[in-house]
């Protein structure tokens, strides 16, 4: 170590000592994936709802309804998904319901609709999901239940068109119950399909009001009594975030603990993170994922939204390692909170729209403001929106409703003077009861949630071209 040899020894031992110290530092922040796997697996399995006897299980009836469903046979095309399928026309003019093939289709599915209503009448539902599958669990029932919801929605429209509003109300009540049954599983995709089924029910109520308008006060009140108002979007979002966090941790721990195991096969990946290369940054990635999911849940609970840019910034602020795995595992959650809140706002405008129609039938005229409905039809006052604490609004739209008839490849306008009941959407701007997704004018930045009530004096449907 003397003289000129000292530099040589420093050159040899210095990098090795630095590597040794670095490994000690990594080890001090490392976590054991095998130990974590036992914890995360238990947490994931704890998400499963309690077992339900078959005779009390709504899923039993839903599965029977799927098996009893009679397929649509298009009189005009042999395509598997023909453009004239009745279930794809839930918002279309009721004239298509007069077609013999459509009437026969819904008549043939009376038994399937009956089974769906029977399942919806049951309090409990358990689909028997395999929570040991983590994020890779199989859930084919979601597509089946959504398709069943479309069938029941079409059945409701057909019943209302024939004048049988009682059956239509029962169908719509069952739709909302089906959406609530999906909430038994605190898995994010189940929550999103629940929102989709609720939206189908909302859509059908509005279509019935606009095309087969009830003329009896008791019928309107019956529709109003079954609208699902208590959707609690932020509570649901936080609940699903907790479920997604548990599933994500279980998936991450499984891959690191056994990179060649069944979880990797379920997710379609191989030994991407072997112990020799993956473990040094495993602990940091895991802690980053937990911190990001917890912070997003807290923001949703406070009623805040978070977009893609904010999610990436949040990951950067919490990241201890590469952050690659976190970006792969963290789901696309920027629009989840918005989807739940939009669903809750739609429920409020649906209920308020039915209240306006009830007022008309009782008093023979339309209210000039929603305040006129208080307290007779709105005992607690005019409801407020979800995104902003502003009361719902009512306006008469001189332009009416613009709609697209996709099978005919044409656009029409109807009902000049239609009543729009709407909320101020996420952007906080009064867009006059218009939005980009419920219509045919996308890209305008409008995001009001609305419900239309046709005017007392209807105006004819006319072809309309966008200027």
Q: Quick: pLDDT tens for 160-169.
A: 999 999 999 9
pLDDT at site 348:
97
Range of 437's domain? 370-467
Residue 332: band (very low, low, confident or very high) from pLDDT cuts 50, 70, 90: low
Do 104 and 188 share a domain, yes or no?
Answer: yes
Among 272, 306, 323, the domain boundary falls at 272
pLDDT of residue 267: 41
Q: Which 3 state secondary structure label does DSSP give 396?
A: strand
pLDDT at 275: 44
351 pLDDT above the threshold of 70: yes
Q: Is residue 292 part of a domain?
A: no
305 falls within a domain: no
pLDDT single digits (tens) 378-393? 999 999 999 888 999 9
Q: How far apart are CA 291 and CA 286, in angstroms?
A: 9
Q: Which of 218, 237, 272 is the last residue of a domain?
A: 272
Q: Which of 32-41, 218-227, 255-264 has the lowest mean pLDDT?
A: 255-264
Q: Which of 350-359, 363-372, 397-406 has the lowest mean pLDDT?
A: 397-406
Residue at 72 is within a domain = yes
Q: What is the average pLDDT score of the chain? A: 84
- 398 part of a folded domain: yes
Stronger pLDDT, 103 or 325, i.e. the higher one: 103
User: Are residues 134 and 22 part of one domain?
Assistant: no
Mean pLDDT to the nearest integer, 246-252 = 89
- Return d(Cα 354, Cα 152) in angstroms, integer: 21
Packed helices 233-257 and 33-45: angle between N→C axes, nearest 10 degrees: 140
Mean pLDDT lowest among 64-68, 81-85, 132-136, 147-151: 81-85
Number of H helices, E strands in the chain: 15, 6
In the prediction, which pLDDT does 20 show? 44
Nearest to 186 by CA among 45, 390, 77: 45
Please check whether residues 5 and 138 belong to one and the same domain.
no
* Cα dihedral value 368, 370, 372, 378, nearest 10: 160
Domain annotation covers residue 353:
no
d(CA 429, CA 446): 8
d(CA 210, CA 438): 15
Q: What is the mean pLDDT of residues 244-254?
A: 89
User: Who wins on pLDDT, 275 or 303?
Assistant: 303
Which of 2-16, 250-264, 453-467 holds the top average pLDDT? 453-467
Residue 281: inside a domain = no
pLDDT for the residue numbered 300: 84
Does the pLDDT at position 276 exceed 70? Answer: no
Regarding whether 6 and 81 lie in a shared domain, the answer is no
Residue 152 is predicted with a pLDDT of 97
Residue 265: inside a domain = yes
Count of domains forming the chain: 3
Cα gap 299→306, rounded to integer Å: 8
45 with 58, same domain?
yes
Task: Write down the residue that tokens 């704890």 correspond to.
Answer: 46
**pLDDT score recorded for residue 302:** 85
- Let me know whether 213 and 74 are in one domain: yes
What integer pLDDT is reported at residue 338 of this predicted model? 85
Domain end among 272, 288, 323: 272
Q: Looking at the predicted structure, is the pLDDT value of residue 271 above 70?
A: no
Based on the domain organization, do 42 and 21 belong to the same domain? no
Question: What is the average pLDDT across 334-360?
Answer: 93
């000039």: which residue's tokens?
A: 368
The residue assigned the tokens 């199989």 is 138
Q: At 465, is the pLDDT very low, low, confident or very high (cuts 50, 70, 90)? A: low
The answer, yes or no, to whether residue 81 has pLDDT greater than 70, is no
Q: What's phi and psi for 396, nearest 5 deg? A: -95, 120
Instruction: Count how many Cα atoms sit within 13 Å of the Cα of residue 241 in the half-sphere of its side chain.
Output: 26
Distance CA 252, CA 286 (A): 8
Regarding whether 117 and 9 lie in a shared domain, the answer is no
CA atoms lying within 13 Å on the CB side of residue 144:
18
pLDDT in tens, 21-67: 444 444 445 678 889 999 999 999 999 999 999 999 999 999 999 99
Do 120 and 8 fall within a single domain? no
- Residue 162 is assigned to a structural domain of this protein: yes
Task: For residue 398, report the phi and psi dihedrals to the nearest 5 degrees.
Answer: -65, -20
SS3 334: coil
Identify whether residues 267 and 377 lie together within a single domain.
Answer: no
Q: Is the pLDDT of residue 192 over 70?
A: yes
Q: Which of 252, 80, 111, 97 is nearest to 160 (CA)?
A: 97
Q: pLDDT above 90 covers what percent of the chain? A: 49
- Please answer whether residues 197 and 180 qualify as being in contact, where contact means their C-beta atoms are separated by less than 8 angstroms: no
**pLDDT band at 11; cut points 50, 70, 90:** low
Q: Report angle CA 443, 448, 454 to the nearest 5 degrees.
A: 105
Q: What are phi and psi of 463, to 5 degrees?
A: -70, 140
Instruction: For tokens 């026969």, name the residue.
Output: 104
Residues in the chain: 467
Answer yes or no: do 148 and 110 share one domain: yes
- How far is residue 133's CA from residue 129's CA, in Å, rounded to a whole number? 9
Residues 250 and 386 in one domain: no
Confidence of residue 84 (pLDDT cuts 50, 70, 90): confident
């Amino acid at each position: 170590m003397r003289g000129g040899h000292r530099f040589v020894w420093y050159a040899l031992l210095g990098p090795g000592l630095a590597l040794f110290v670095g490994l000690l530092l990594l080890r001090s922040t490392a976590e054991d994936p095998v130990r974590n796997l036992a914890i995360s697996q238990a947490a994931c399995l704890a998400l499963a709802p309690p077992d339900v006897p078959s005779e009390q299980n709504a899923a039993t009836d839903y599965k029977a309804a799927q098996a009893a469903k009679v397929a649509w046979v298009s009189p005009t095309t042999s395509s598997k998904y023909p453009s004239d399928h009745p279930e794809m026309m839930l918002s279309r003019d009721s004239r298509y319901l007069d077609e013999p093939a459509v009437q026969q289709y819904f008549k043939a599915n009376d038994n399937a609709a009956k089974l769906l209503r029977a399942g919806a009448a049951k309090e409990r539902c358990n689909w028997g999901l395999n929570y040991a599958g983590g994020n890779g669990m199989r859930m084919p029932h979601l597509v089946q239940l959504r398709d069943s919801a479309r069938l029941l929605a079409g059945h409701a429209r057909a019943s209302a068109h024939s004048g049988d509003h009682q059956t239509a109300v029962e169908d719509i009540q069952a739709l909302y119950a089906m959406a609530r049954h999906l909430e038994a599983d605190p898995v994010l995709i189940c929550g999103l399909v629940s929102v989709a089924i609720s939206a189908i029910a909302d859509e059908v109520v509005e279509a019935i009001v606009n095309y087969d308008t009830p003329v009896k006060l008791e019928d309107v009140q019956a529709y109003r009594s079954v609208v699902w108002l208590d959707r609690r979007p932020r509570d649901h979002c936080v609940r699903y975030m907790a479920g997604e966090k548990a599933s994500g941790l279980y998936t991450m721990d499984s891959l690191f603990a056994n990179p060649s195991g069944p979880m990797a096969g379920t997710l379609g990946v191989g030994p991407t993170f072997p112990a020799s290369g993956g473990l040094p940054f495993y602990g940091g990635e895991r802690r980053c994922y937990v911190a990001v999911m917890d912070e997003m849940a807290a923001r949703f609970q406070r009623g805040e939204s978070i977009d893609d840019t904010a999610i990436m910034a949040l990951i950067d602020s919490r990241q201890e390692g590469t952050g690659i795995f976190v970006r792969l595992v963290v789901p696309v959650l920027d629009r989840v909170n918005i989807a739940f809140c939009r669903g809750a706002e739609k429920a409020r405008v649906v209920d308020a729209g039915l209240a306006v129609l009830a007022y008309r039938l009782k008093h023979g005229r339309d209210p000039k403001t929603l305040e006129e409905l208080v307290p007779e039809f709105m005992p607690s006052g005019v409801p407020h929106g979800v995104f902003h604490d502003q009361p719902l609004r009512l306006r008469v739209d001189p332009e009416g409703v613009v709609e697209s008839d996709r099978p005919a490849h044409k656009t029409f306008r109807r009902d000049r003077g239609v009543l729009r009941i709407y909320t101020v959407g996420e952007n906080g701007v009064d867009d006059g009861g218009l939005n980009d997704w419920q219509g045919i004018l996308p890209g305008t930045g409008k995001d009001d949630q609305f419900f239309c009530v046709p005017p007392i004096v209807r105006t004819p449907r006319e072809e309309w071209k966008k200027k």
